[in-house]
Structure 1
Amino acid sequence: MSFVTLSNSRVETTPPVENNSDSGVLSPEPDASMQEYYQLQMDLLILTVILTGVIFVTVCFFYPLKIALNYLLGAVGSVVYLRMLAKDVEKLGRQQQRLSKARLAIFIGLIVVATQWNSLSILPIFLGFLTYKAALILYVLKSVLMPES
């Protein structure tokens, strides 16, 4: 859970407060590793959304709008899946011992809806769902090729 603060018409989001296991007291700010995790989480989400936009425009240019919208449906599912995965990983170790499988319902739901609804195509939805994987690959390539940035 993150906290939202309103100040002078600006919305600021702060990550949740960490529990200091040594003293049993809540520390006012998360440690450096959690700050790094929150930055990684935000970078991956932003990269996924940017990649979704670029691919959507490209698909619109080369294919009919129906195919592009099918891709977009899968990509939106991908962003939701990535966000749920990040929240699940954040809780790992503190509140739960293993990752939940509930986020897989998004993928299963998308594919089931695509197979049952005649106006949807399975392949563009599936490829749209894989957008978060492309964002992960690009992030890893960027961090390997340009480690200082």
Structure 2
Amino acid sequence: MGEYAKLQRRLMLATLALSLIALVRFDVLVARSLLVGSCAGLLYLRLLARSVARLGGGSRQVGRFQLIVPMLLVVAAAKLPQLELLPAFLGFLLYKPALILQTVIDG
């Protein structure tokens, strides 16, 4: 489990690093939306990791609670004028390149 915790930490830090790099490249509205989406992606990744960690302890399926996070993000981006939908969703997906990056580094 120690290796799994280290991998989780590295994924979170890589996602945060990619988010910060992306933040300096855009204007305020896009950067804000990207940041909110990135935070939602980090929350989703954390909930998913917690659900996967419980798999070995008697649970046989991944929880569905983490699926609420992207739905809430889309609803918030659609309703709030301070957020744009596309940058928020792209921010949410920033954990994917971090995951690929970690795979390449570890591979």
TM-score bracket, normalised by the shorter chain, equals over 0.9
Gaps of 5+ in 1: 1-33, 145-149
Determine the structure 2 residue equivalent to 1:35: 2
Q: Paired residue for 1:44?
A: 11
Work out the percentage of aligned pairs sharing the same amino acid. Answer: 36
Q: Which whole-Å deviations, capped at 9, do the CAs of 1:100-145 have from their partners, x for residues lacking one?
A: 111010100000111122332110000000010110011112223x
Normalising by structure 2, report the TM-score: 0.92
- 1:69 is matched with 32
* C-alpha RMSD over aligned residues: 1.2
| Larger strand share, 1 or 2 | 1
More contact order relative to length (CA 8 Å, sep ≥ 6): 2
Q: Which has the higher helix share?
A: 2
**3-state SS of paired residue (1:98):** coil
Q: Counterparts of 1:1-149 in structure 2 under 5 Å?
A: 34-59=1-26, 64-144=27-107
Residue-pair matches, total: 107
Counterpart amino acid of residue 46 in structure 2? R
TM-score with structure 1 length normalisation?
0.68
Q: Which is greater in Rg? A: 1
Query: 1:5-32: per-residue Cα shift (whole Å, max 9, x none)?
Result: xxxxxxxxxxxxxxxxxxxxxxxxxxxx
Q: Which runs of 4+ in 1 moved over 4 A?
A: none
